[in-house]
Amino acid sequence: MSTAEKYLKPEVINQIKRLDLRAQFIVKGFLHGLHASPFHGFSVEFSEHRKYVPGDDPKDIDWLVYAKTDKYYVKKFEAETNITGYLVMDLSRSMGYTYRQELTKFEYSICLAAALCYLMIYQQDPVGLLTFDRKIRHSLRPKTKRKHLGDILSLLANLKPEGETNVAQSMTQVAAMLKHASLIMLFSDLLADPGPVMESLYRLRHGGHDVIVFHVLDEAEVQFPFRGMVELEEPENRQRLALDADGFRPEYLKELAAFRDHYRRECYQARIDYVPLDTSMRFDRALLEYLNSRMGRG
């Protein structure tokens, strides 16, 4: 089994193959105008097309669209529509954790990143890869070639999340590296002080970049399924803590909800897309629900 086949799960690839013409426009809009209109989002019917006007070359008319809508639309030229995307992957040790799920947070993130990478290359949008722990560790330049998906997944499959992390410092580095407005897709458990993290994400937004934060937690971090006396280990500094799980659960779940709500509010204010996920969620459904939520912003 190839690396691409391992991480680009059949249910994801089948969902993508089943995208009808309408859905393809949705994906295109998702990749191209994420925040162009915070109030309208996907209300623009065809994000990669525009209405035919006198003077346009009739050869540019999309007859498939005409057959479906009885309206004339012309395809935009690639130069008008291309956006550059970067998958930005957290390599911290905590991302290698799972309690009882098949995939660690890191592997789950790779699967979701594979789907988004496939979508971008399918739409002929260049996509690159950045990985980080305390700083940027790997960088693959954005390309549109199909082989590039395999290159990205091969690199990710050979990495082990094992360092300490500094999300804020790494995102500040990303902001300094990128010279052109891009789409930044961050995959992280965000187990850090939210203040500096949000400051670094603001910096990306001020630089003209669109940002999507995929906040990936393990199912056990969300549900806290532990019972009785347990010993928990802090994932990055390896400190151990013995506690009564039953007594601790209500406070833990309250703190977790506050943690996610803080990111949700702050990202909303900054016009950053925040997508909370856990590893028990089917990632194909998570992706489609996210696309549908963007659709419903009309």
**Residues paired with 165 in a beta bridge:** none
Residue where a domain stops, chosen among 43, 58, 80 = 80
Cα distance between residue 136 and residue 68, in whole Å = 46
DSSP readout, 160-214?
A: ---B---HHHHHHHHHHH--S--EEEEEE---S-HHHHHHHHHHHHHTT-EEEEE
- CATH number, residue 94: 3.40.50.410
Give the chain's domain count. Answer: 2
β-strand partners of 89: 131, 187
Tokens of 17: 């193959």
Judge if 97 and 222 occupy the same domain: yes
Per-residue pLDDT of the chain (298 residues; tens, 9 = 90+): 556 566 666 665 555 444 433 344 445 555 554 434 333 333 333 445 667 777 777 777 777 777 777 777 776 544 445 689 999 999 999 999 999 998 899 988 888 888 788 778 877 889 999 999 999 999 999 998 888 888 888 888 888 898 889 999 999 999 999 988 999 999 999 999 999 999 999 999 999 998 999 999 999 999 999 998 888 776 666 678 788 888 899 999 999 999 999 999 999 999 998 989 999 987 666 776 676 666 554 4
Of 61, 80, 99, the residue at which a domain comes to its end is 80
Q: What's the pTM? A: 0.75
The answer to whether the beta carbons of residues 118 and 13 sit under 8 Å apart is yes
Structural domain of residue 59, as residue ranges? 20-80
Same domain, 125 and 110: yes
Identify the residue whose tokens are 């549908």.
292
